[in-house]
Structure 1
Amino acid sequence: MPGAGPAPGTPYPGGVSFFGDLRTVLRGPRFRRLFATRLVSQFSDGVYQAGLAGFVFFNPEQHTSAAAVAAAFAVLLLPFSVVAPFAGVLIDRWPRRQVLLLSALAKAVLTVVCAVLVAGGEGPAFFVAALLVLSVNRFFLSGLSAGLPYVVPREQLMMANAVTPTCGTVASSLGTGVGLGLGVLAGTGPLSTGMILAAAAAGFAAAGLVSLSLGYRELGPHLEREPEEVRAAVGGVVRGMVAGIRHIRSRPPARDALGTIGLHRVLFGISSLMTLLLYNNTFTGGGVAGLAGFSVSAGVLALGFFLGAVATPSATGRMTPGAWIGLQLLVLAVVLAVFALPFSAALFPVAAFVLGFVSQGVKVTVDTQVQRHVDDAFRGRVFSVYDVLFNATFVLGAALAAALVPPSGLGTPVLVGMVAVYLAAGLGWTLRERRRAAVLPGPPAQEPAA
């Protein structure tokens, strides 16, 4: 049951390696069923993304102006934010297993529609259907996050949050490779893209079937034990979101963690747009060379994501989550100053690697803090607020970069400002944890319940 285990914020024992953590959480049969649902769906997401790429769908790298890149990011991410509030309220009201099942089946049907439309050359209608698939996916992903505390003990949440998204990303990458392989076999053109999308639709349907291995109420919510406010939330999505925000405000550990991830995502949006401009207009002459250089940077960024997830459970077994966040932000400030500020094509990938490491390390820690410090009655709405924050702040960062960074990408004042913000945030978390350790008795890893 949620709530079992050590006090909120207490790092779980063990968790010394990624694969060790994976073996630990896989011992739970309920976790294995939810994990399998995630892997099948995210593998299919990768196949679907390969189909979109085949149809030149949302490819920001092809845009050379800052405004065009920012607009592409907005079109890609903001639909998630529009759907997220509805997803949160309903996830707090509907059986979450049913949310997984029905959203997976809806994605399958919509992807079949995409396949038919692209095969018939219906471009505008295809984009509408594709956006609907991306939007419905919010229900699925929010359901996975809200249901996770029901299938792992509280002390294993940190390791579960580290291994599940990382394995999901690997599954998605494998799916993309399979989708591209199908494209090679089937040839180019709309018919080939339609075949790839049809394969993705079959995968989404399979994910829905796998979710049936979970019990109807196994992922909550248990409304019979919750206040009447939850039952009335369906009547007002906005009221539900406001209730989720108020709940976050009353839980300082979750509030501070979400504020930090929002700030980081603004800066990550700035750095993403800056990187695209640098590889298109400064480090290379653009075109194939620019895309190749950007792909290297994206590759080391992804490696950083993976290693950040691997390192976080072990790190939070040795220090408080807040201390780990502070340390990462301070390291990132130093690395950006040393390896990014020279604007060297040879040094920039080092900064990208550390940025990826810190991004995932902070996110895994924030996910766990939110899950530990919010009530289950509000968890779906809180994660929907999290989704809005995560995507909207990234788009805000891209928009700020479009206004502040020159077309060359050589935005020295902007990058200096990023270093200063990361340094201030890192110092803030470090001093906060030191004050807490001085006040609280016992080992420094202890953190008071919200």
Structure 2
Amino acid sequence: MPSVPRPPSFRRALAHRPFFLLWTSQLVSQSGDFIFDVALLWLVLQTTGSVFAVSLVVVATLIPVVLLGPVLGVYVDRWPRRTILLLTNLGEGVLVAALSGLVLTHQTGLTVIIVIVFALGVGGQFVRITSNAMVPQTVGTTDLGTANSLLSFSNSTTQVVGLSVGGVVVALFGVDLPITYDAITFFVAALIVMLMSPTIGRPEPTPAGTGPRFASQFSEGVRYVARQRFLVELIALGLVVNFAGNAVFALWAPYADLVLHGGAATYGLLGAMIAVGAIVGAIVIGKVDTRRTAGKLLFAGNAGVGALMIGLGVTRSIPLALAESFLIGVLLSVINIPLLTLVQAKVPSRLMGRVMSVLMGFILAAAPFGAYFAGSLASATSVGFVYVAAGGIVIATDAVGVVAMREVRNVTY
């Protein structure tokens, strides 16, 4: 008689000490990240008065994903993953502390901010790829979905607190305090990573014939992705959807200021409501067996997100915009958590870093162009028009995908 799979359990996932430490380190560092985001983009908007300048800073955070994302996975699979997390957190802490000093001495300019943000984007990409690759090494396959839900839950919880508190703190005390706090969280996260056993995240042996060279290891990851039809379809869909999505999120601060006529607190609350929705979505999806429905949830969720983007573009009501942001957050969890779990369950651990980096790099390749497009189009038209156009792009792409992308629609694990 076949064994019955154990139901998902948050408690069981957290009982794995390596995962608990990984989850805790992410919780701490992310609490500062979202406060930092509010402070930084508000600083740029208020000092330059330019929507286009804000979009340029967002582009700088996304360029590392495109330029380095597909190749970083080689090193994530080659180097000890615990060491990568430790050194990256320390490096990001030093960079943010330096920015805090520049703000205090009034030496920040747009060029300096873009350079620092680019470097932080490189570090952030390393952390995302490494932590995603480590999850299957810290819990069993049965608990993968629950573990990803917990990571999403903590990310969204810190986003709620960070964006809400960040908006208020910036309004009351300025931008330096939240930037300094972000630097501290990186150092604390590094200390938590040090508590992991050095055996966690060790690279697995390389098969004969691939060799230690970068080119052979990188091409092995690319070939694996190319042979998986559902991954190819996912990349094609994700390119367009992320182009449109980043067009929306790049203008979050100008949307709060120029469309809703709110201040820094409104800007923070919009992001916080997305995070609240993502928490609700993570709790719900973490209790659902999505092994046969991940693709269907992707298409249904994308259609809903596109409609809500259009809704944001036409509303001028802060409460309605907050409600629409909440629903976007719910749908993002419903889309992303099952897909991440699907990839982690199907990809061999020794290839996980490369496959994750290639997948993320290609899916997000259009994201900087989306942010640049948003700034340029909004300067010529309006922020609301950009939101409506972006929503229409998502819905149209999703409709094509439902018809043409059978593999990703029906994929199981």
For residue 25 of structure 2, what is the aligned residue in structure 1? 37
Contact 2:30–2:155 (8 Å) recurs in 1: yes
Given the alignment of the two structures, is residue 419 of structure 1 paired with residue 384 of structure 2, yes or no? no
Alignment partner for residue 205 of structure 1, among 182, 187, 192? 187
Tell me if 1:222 matches 2:209: no
Deviation at 1:228, TM superposition (A): 4.5
CA distance in 2, matches of 1:171, 1:278: 22
Aligned pair 1:88/2:73, yes or no? yes
One-letter amino acid matched to 2:125? R
Of 271, 282, 287, the match for 1:309? 282
1:371 aligned partner:
344
Alignment check: 8 A CA contact 2:303 2:394 kept? no
Matching residue of 1:28? 16
Letter in 2 for 1:214: M
Quote the residue 1:439 is aligned against.
Answer: none
Q: What pairs with 1:114-125 in structure 2 (closer than 5 Å)?
A: 114-124=99-109
Give the structure with higher Rg (CA). 1
RMSD over aligned Cα atoms: 3.9
Higher mean Cα deviation, 173-182 or 83-92? 173-182
Q: TM-score, normalised by structure 1?
A: 0.74
CA distance in 2, matches of 1:427, 1:40: 42
Deviation at 1:376, TM superposition (A): 2.2
Identity of aligned residues (%): 20
Report the CA distance between 1:414 and its aligned residue.
6.0
Contact 2:156–2:275 (Cα < 8 Å) also in 1: no
CA distance in 2, matches of 1:258, 1:265: 10
**Equivalences for 1:42-441 in 2 at 5 Å?**
42-46=30-34, 48-49=36-37, 52=40, 56-59=42-45, 67-124=52-109, 127=113, 128-171=115-158, 173-174=160-161, 193=176, 197-223=179-205, 226-229=207-210, 231-233=212-214, 236=215, 240-272=217-249, 283-284=259-260, 286=261, 289=262, 297-317=270-290, 319-332=292-305, 339=311, 343-346=314-317, 350-401=323-374, 407-408=381-382, 409-410=384-385, 415-428=391-404
1:247 Cα deviation from its structure 2 partner: 1.6
C-alpha distance in structure 2 between counterparts of 1:366 and 1:25, whole Å: 19
1:13-67 CA-to-partner distances (Å, cap 9, x unmatched) read 533xxxxx432311222211221222222234345446646xx5455998665x5
After TM superposition, give the deviation of residue 129 of structure 1 in Å.
Answer: 4.0
What is the alpha-carbon distance in structure 2 between the residues aligned to residue 291 and residue 116 of structure 1? 22
| SS state at 2:365 partner | helix
State whether structure 2 residue 384 is matched by structure 1 residue 447: no
**Cα distance in 2, alignment partners of residues 394 and 111 from structure 1:** 24
What is the CA-CA distance between 1:384 and the residue it aligns to? 2.0
Alpha-carbon distance in structure 2 between the residues aligned to 1:376 and 1:335: 37
How far residue 97 of structure 1 moved from its aligned partner, in angstroms, is 0.8
Q: 1:153 is matched by which residue type in structure 2? A: G
Q: List runs of 5+ in structure 2 lacking aligned partners.
A: none
Contact 1:43–1:173 under 8 Å retained in 2 = no
- Counterpart position of 1:18: none
1: distance between equivalents of 2:168 and 2:58?
A: 27
Distance 1:278 1:51 in 2: 16
**AA paired with 2:238?**
I
| Cα pair distance change 1:188/1:340, threshold 3 Å | closer
Distance 1:115 1:89 in 2: 33
Q: Is the 8 A contact 1:44 1:172 kept in 2?
A: no
Q: Residues 410 and 316 from structure 1, CA distance in 2 versus in 1: closer, same or farther, beyond 3 angstroms?
A: same
Query: Secondary structure at the residue paired with 2:199?
Result: coil
Contact 2:21 2:196 (C-alpha < 8 Å) held by counterparts: yes
Deviation at 1:146, TM superposition (A): 1.0
- Write the letter of the residue equivalent to 2:139: V
Q: How many angstroms does 1:111 deviate by?
A: 3.2
Output one character per residue of 1:163-215: Cα deviation in whole Å (capped at 9) or x when no partner. 21320332355456777888799x558xxx2x655544343222222112222
Find the aligned partners of 2:82 and 2:98 in 1 and give their Cα distance. Answer: 25
For the 8 Å contact 1:118–1:126, the answer to whether it is kept is no
In the alignment, the residues of structure 1 paired with residue 291 and residue 350 of structure 2 have an alpha-carbon distance, to the nearest angstrom, of 31
Separation in 1, partners of 2:187, 2:295 = 40
**2:210 partner SS:** helix
Looking at structure 2, the residues matched to 24 and 357 of structure 1 have their Cα atoms a distance apart, in angstroms, of: 24
Separation in structure 1 between the aligned mates of residue 199 and residue 297 of structure 2, nearest angstrom: 35
